[in-house]
A and B are shown apart, each in its own frame.
Chain A
Amino acid sequence: MASPLKHSLARPLVQSSSSCAASRVLLLPASQRFFSVLNRPPPNYEGHIPLTKVERGALAIGSALWSFRDPRRGDLIAALGEATAQPFFIDHLRNRMLLSPTGRRILRDRPRITSTTLSIPRLRSLPSNTVGYAYAAWLDREGVSPDTRAAVRYIDDPECAYVMQRYRECHDFYHALAGLPVFREGEVALKAFEFANTGLPMTGLSVFAALTLKKREWQRFWEIYGPWAVRNGLLADDVINVYWEEELETDVDGLRTRLGIEKPPDLREIRKAEREAMKRAKEAKESGTVLS
């Protein structure tokens, strides 16, 4: 008695859910619909390329291995970031932006950092204790420009794509905030800080590049910069929520105190001192051998 009743109620449910499932599937955004490389859904924003799961996995693995071998391929590191950020991590970062009032303003305004939106000569003319001056000085010291960041292409949600783009463009500001230089040792330390602070997998995977560091550099990372990165990254406020365009004229140390970040020891100075000490030791040894 009960089974025929259950049967008759079950069948319309199944039928309606299957036809609804078919029409539902057509309306889902790219990240949730099943598609093949032959019929990609239309892009959600300009430059967007929807990837299948297999493609995304292959891009993640390929770019991880290739950029480990050749860290100069910034475009591959960027692609690795985009391939591994979905579905959870970039959404989580965007939600943390939504929780903060400044973060919400950034998401509403969607400012972009390029050499046209930020006038570098003007930043150089600011007082030397400001964020803008520190940023321009850091750009000059390292010889880089804000235009070298690739556009985000593989993240499906347009807002999350903007969050990724914002993270990428603000990376140089984090360098200036932390005072870490642009070569491998500094980048690894900053990536460890970013992993602790933002949680993006690419930043964590980039710390594996520390395996390629020289012994002394690895020792410094293990003793000084690694602990600094973890401590500050976890305890400080989200750096993604800093509205840099408004902070250009504020005091750097004031900003650091507000965020809860301590400045790590100057890496360039340490390396310079170490190089000089080694040079002096070598000269002493040579003069010692000459004399004896």
Chain B
Amino acid sequence: MSGTTAKLLARHQFFQGARLAARRNPYRCLSCSAQNAQQQNTPPPPGQDAPKTTHFGFETIAEALKEQKVGAVFSSVASSYDTMNDLMSLGIHRLWKDYFVRNLNPGSNPLTSPSTTVQGWNILDIAGGTGDIAFRMLDHASTINNDAHTRVTVADINPDMLAEGRKRALETPYARSPRLSFVEANAEHLTNIPGNSIDLYTVAFGIRNFTNKDAALREAFRVLKPGGVFACLEFSKVNNSLFDAVYKRWSFGAIPLIGQLVAGDRDSYQYLVESIERFPSQTEFRDMIKDAGFLVPGRGWEDLTGGIAAIHKGVKPIKAQN
């Protein structure tokens, strides 16, 4: 009995030793031998001042490059943007956007609002290239509030997304009216928009792509009228940890795969899910909004679908804060 177990033990240890030896040299493939011989490890040249870096998904890149890389992502997803949104959120993004607009209630009924006010709201929709939010705002103002003067300016940094938006606008009644305009603008430097001119500043699923969110928040503060509202719809942190586990696995497993099958572009969707992961939490973002000078109503945010998305609001104070 002990003889056979001793033999088993010896054999086990012999194979373990062989496995250890094999593990020490992982690269046993034929072509790697030639390559290992050729490779000479040159030390990297000493860097000059390290450029300021930011994150691009989970990558760390130079700040100057982020805009360009995000631009490339959105140019490549522009035409299949809606299909992808539908697949990624299983169509729920439509409900979120509907609720976002309904909750903001744009437009003021001319019969009930005081006659001294300027007719209609001046709404600025940032990063709203394909026009999802803009069309909903205009429809809500026209049909629910009977306001035919509310106008929306859609600003986006990416001309391909704007082109897509202009194309879709043709199917709405606002295409050639003064109520809808499309401009190419960088949210961090809104040079064409005068200060204190906007009633409602919205950004839906755009701010997580900005290189400098604080700069965008400050610009928002500048262009809003006193009493104007800043509203942001964005992906956020899920509250429930069990749901979060499922949601993260769906995000990192299924979404890049769907991106590959539908759009032939795994990398853009990998970036998208990584940028969602990197976005600050609800409380952190509310604090950033406060730091820009906004007054934050109540808790400052509202969770949608368990925290997958969140609506953050801020109001520009009427009197300057001391």
Q: Given the complex of chains A and B, what is the CA–CA distance between A59 and B257 in angstroms?
A: 7
Per-residue contact bits, chain A 37-70, to B (CB 8 Å; 1 contact, 0 not): 1100000000001001011001100110010000
Pairwise interchain contact B29-A157, C-beta atoms closer than 8 A: yes
Pairwise interchain contact A37-B261, C-beta atoms closer than 8 A: no
Q: Is A148 an interface residue (CB 8 A)?
A: no
- Closest chain B CB from A59 CB (angstroms): 6
Q: Is A204 an interface residue (CB 8 A)?
A: no
A67 to chain B: closest residue by CB: B261
A40 to chain B: closest residue by CB: B252
Q: B30 is contacted by which of A29, A55, A108 (Cβ under 8 Å)? A: A108
Q: Is B239 an interface residue (CB 8 A)?
A: no
Task: List which B243-267 residues lie within 8 A (CB) of chain A.
Answer: 248-249, 252-254, 257, 260-261, 264, 266
Q: A6 is contacted by which of B5, B16, B32, B253 (Cβ under 8 Å)? A: B5
B258 to chain A: closest residue by CB: A62
Pairwise interchain contact A27-B23, C-beta atoms closer than 8 A: yes
Pairwise interchain contact A75-B32, C-beta atoms closer than 8 A: no
Q: Is B31 an interface residue (CB 8 A)?
A: yes
- Closest chain B CB from A27 CB (angstroms): 6
B248 to chain A: closest residue by CB: A38
Q: Given the complex of chains A and B, what is the CA–CA distance between A157 and B248 in angstroms?
A: 27
Q: Which residues of A have CB within 8 Å of B168?
A: none
Q: Is B95 an interface residue (CB 8 A)?
A: no
A2 in contact with B1 given A9-B9, A37-B252, A76-B264 (CB within 8 Å): yes
Per-residue contact bits, chain A 17-46, to B (CB 8 Å; 1 contact, 0 not): 100100010010100000011100000000
Pairwise interchain contact A52-B30, C-beta atoms closer than 8 A: no
Q: Is A259 an interface residue (CB 8 A)?
A: no
Q: B261 is contacted by which of A62, A108, A162 (Cβ under 8 Å)? A: A62
Pairwise interchain contact A20-B253, C-beta atoms closer than 8 A: no
Q: How many residues of chain B have a CB within 8 Å of chain A? A: 26
Pairwise interchain contact A59-B1, C-beta atoms closer than 8 A: no
Pairwise interchain contact B264-A73, C-beta atoms closer than 8 A: yes
A79 to chain B: closest residue by CB: B260
Q: Which residues of A have CB within 8 Å of B19?
A: 24
Q: Which residues of A have CB within 8 Å of B26?
A: 27, 29
Q: Given the complex of chains A and B, what is the CA–CA distance between A100 and B26 in angstroms?
A: 24
Q: Given the complex of chains A and B, what is the CA–CA distance between A62 and B253 in angstroms?
A: 14
Q: B2 is contacted by which of A5, A24, A54 (Cβ under 8 Å)? A: A5
Pairwise interchain contact A66-B261, C-beta atoms closer than 8 A: yes
Task: List which A76-122 residues lie within 8 A (CB) of chain B.
Answer: 76, 79, 98, 104, 107-110
Task: List which B208-265 residues lie within 8 A (CB) of chain A.
Answer: 248-249, 252-254, 257, 260-261, 264
Interface of B: prevailing SS: helix
- Closest chain B CB from A280 CB (angstroms): 43
Q: Is B12 an interface residue (CB 8 A)?
A: yes
Q: Given the complex of chains A and B, what is the CA–CA distance between A158 and B31 in angstroms?
A: 10
Q: Is B50 an interface residue (CB 8 A)?
A: no
Per-residue contact bits, chain A 231-275, to B (CB 8 Å; 1 contact, 0 not): 000000000000000000000000000000000000000000000
- Closest chain B CB from A106 CB (angstroms): 9
Q: Which residues of A have CB within 8 Å of B35?
A: 110
Q: Is A13 an interface residue (CB 8 A)?
A: yes
Q: Which residues of B have CB within 8 Å of A158?
A: 29, 32
Pairwise interchain contact B264-A75, C-beta atoms closer than 8 A: yes
B266 to chain A: closest residue by CB: A49
- Closest chain B CB from A150 CB (angstroms): 9
Q: Which residues of B have CB within 8 Å of A9?
A: 2, 5, 9
Pairwise interchain contact A159-B257, C-beta atoms closer than 8 A: no
B33 to chain A: closest residue by CB: A108
Q: Is B34 an interface residue (CB 8 A)?
A: yes
- Closest chain B CB from A85 CB (angstroms): 16
- Closest chain A CB from B52 CB (angstroms): 26
Pairwise interchain contact B31-A55, C-beta atoms closer than 8 A: no
Q: A5 is contacted by which of B1, B29, B260, B261 (Cβ under 8 Å)? A: B1
Q: Given the complex of chains A and B, what is the CA–CA distance between A76 and B9 in angstroms?
A: 50
Pairwise interchain contact A55-B261, C-beta atoms closer than 8 A: no
Q: Given the complex of chains A and B, what is the CA–CA distance between A189 and B257 in angstroms?
A: 30
Per-residue contact bits, chain B 6-40, to A (CB 8 Å; 1 contact, 0 not): 00010010001001000100100111111100000
Pairwise interchain contact B264-A110, C-beta atoms closer than 8 A: no
**A→B interface (CB under 8 Å):** 2, 5-6, 9, 13, 17, 20, 24, 27, 29, 36-38, 49, 52, 54-55, 58-59, 62-63, 66, 73, 75-76, 79, 98, 104, 107-110, 157-159, 162
5 tightest Cβ-Cβ pairs between the two chains A and B: A37-B253, A159-B29, A37-B252, A107-B31, A62-B261
**B→A interface (CB under 8 Å):** 1-2, 5, 9, 12, 16, 19, 23, 26, 29-35, 248-249, 252-254, 257, 260-261, 264, 266
7 further contact pairs, Cβ within 8 A, besides A5-B5, A58-B257: A13-B9, A24-B23, A52-B253, A54-B253, A59-B257, A76-B261, A108-B31
The 30 sampled A-B contact pairs (Cβ below 8 Å) are: A2-B1, A5-B1, A9-B2, A9-B9, A13-B9, A20-B16, A24-B19, A36-B249, A37-B249, A37-B253, A38-B248, A38-B249, A38-B252, A49-B266, A52-B253, A55-B253, A58-B257, A59-B261, A63-B260, A75-B260, A76-B260, A76-B261, A79-B260, A107-B30, A108-B30, A110-B35, A157-B29, A158-B29, A159-B31, A162-B31
